[in-house]
């Protein structure tokens, strides 16, 4: 029996390198008996939670309506972050009310988040989103205090009319001596929307984990316990890893993984993910790109897994494309995984940029 890659326990699980939150894909490669159940459901699960609920991938899951496994708790990332990552903040100027509001997406539909907007006399604006399950006025007041609002303020509430039965009594109980300007649903036209993401090392460790596990499915001569992978195992499995270690293992690649995109092409009617692995001049590498589509070019992250001086299949390239079915899930499958045809392209060294650099945002007109 094999030992888990991240602890001394017996490795006894079937691991999907692509997180289950992105759906299950027919013919996808699996990693058998390399991870124990405890690590799979705790340490590694926390990495996937931040990736899929707090990063740009959380926005894309909402935009494309990807639910993941049915038994997993459904989290609206515009109201709550996960695993140490922040919630999504999509802000836009609402011309109908004359100030900036927060938005939420459900599929390609957009609305103002359920929120109270506090406007100080100086003009400074604070947004207080109200999660659907919040029913305790004391907890609502605690969220308000966390905003550090300087009174006096004007306050306006945004909500769907169907939410008024529970939302308005909640607000009145929290501030019984105050009056609010009720706005209802607000405007329906927005421009210049910017979405902010707040993640930490767990987000990038998730990319490292996915790349490492996928690499092992493609190069069976390795079982992952080799000394050349010791550092990447420690980075993935240790929650004491800091942001300062991220750039050692994860880098941002600017050159597209698909040859067609070298010349500016974008996917036409498909949405999907790319996982690739290679051994180049003795260095073991993986490349990960999520939610590539005509709407979103999607960043590519390269994971430096380790260097094996004895590698015999230098310049070997392998990959899979995970594409969603156009008509929605078919049975338990959201889409299909297909091996990529790999070719050698004559080019110089591929430039990699630090994964952690300038803050990233998504913007739209």
Any idea which residue has 């000394």 for tokens? 227
The rounded distance, in Å, linking the Cα atoms of 85 and 149 is 23
Determine the pLDDT at residue 362: 47
3-state secondary structure (DSSP) of residue 156 = strand
Token couple for 48: 């996937």
Determine the pLDDT at residue 33: 94
The rounded distance, in Å, linking the Cα atoms of 39 and 143 is 33
pTM: 0.91
Exposure b/e, 291-300, CB count within 10 A at least 16 = b: bbbeebebbb
Determine the pLDDT at residue 59: 94
pLDDT tens digits, one per residue of 245-267 = 999 999 999 888 887 666 565 67
Determine the pLDDT at residue 182: 67
The rounded distance, in Å, linking the Cα atoms of 146 and 155 is 16
Determine the pLDDT at residue 125: 96
Determine the pLDDT at residue 98: 86
Give the residue ranges of the chain where pLDDT is below 70.
69-73, 181-189, 260-266, 312-315, 342-349, 358-365
Determine the pLDDT at residue 81: 92
**Which of 283, 210, 252 lies closest to 356, judged by CA?**
252
């Amino acid at each position: 029996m094999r030992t888990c890659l991240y602890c001394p326990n017996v490795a006894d699980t079937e691991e999907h390198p692509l997180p289950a939150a992105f759906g299950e894909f027919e013919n996808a490669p699996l990693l058998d008996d390399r991870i124990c159940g405890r690590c799979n459901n705790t340490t590694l699960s926390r990495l996937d939670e931040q990736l899929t609920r707090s990063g740009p991938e959380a926005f894309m899951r909402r935009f494309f309506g990807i639910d993941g496994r049915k038994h997993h708790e459904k989290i609206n990332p515009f109201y709550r972050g996960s695993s140490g990552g922040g919630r999504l903040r999509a802000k836009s100027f609402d011309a109908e009310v004359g100030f900036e509001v927060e938005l939420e997406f459900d599929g390609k539909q957009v609305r103002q988040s359920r929120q109270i907007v506090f406007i100080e006399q100086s003009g400074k604006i604070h947004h207080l989103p109200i999660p659907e399950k919040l029913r305790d006025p004391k907890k609502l007041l605690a969220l308000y205090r966390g905003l550090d609002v300087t009174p006096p303020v004007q306050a306006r509430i945004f909500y769907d009319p169907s939410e008024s039965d529970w939302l308005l009594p909640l607000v009145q109980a929290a501030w019984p001596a105050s009056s609010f300007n009720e706005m209802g649903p607000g405007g329906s036209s927005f421009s210049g929307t910017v979405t902010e993401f707040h993640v930490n090392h767990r987000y990038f460790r998730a990319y490292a984990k996915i790349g490492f596990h996928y690499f092992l499915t493609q190069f069976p001569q390795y079982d992952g316990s080799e000394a050349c992978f010791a550092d990447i195992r420690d980075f993935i499995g240790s929650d004491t890893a800091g942001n300062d270690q991220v750039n050692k293992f994860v880098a941002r690649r600017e050159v597209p993984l698909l040859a067609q995109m070298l010349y500016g092409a974008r996917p036409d009617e498909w949405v999907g993910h790319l996982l690739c692995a290679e051994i180049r001049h003795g260095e073991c590498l993986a490349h990960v790109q999520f939610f590539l589509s005509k709407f979103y070019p999607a960043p590519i992250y390269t994971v430096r897994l380790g260097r094996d001086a004895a590698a015999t299949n230098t310049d070997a390239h392998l990959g899979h494309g995970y594409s969603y079915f156009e008509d929605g899930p078919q049975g338990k499958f959201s889409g299909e995984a297909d091996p990529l045809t790999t070719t050698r392209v004559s080019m110089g060294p591929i430039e990699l940029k630090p994964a952690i650099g300038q803050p990233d945002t998504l913007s739209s007109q």
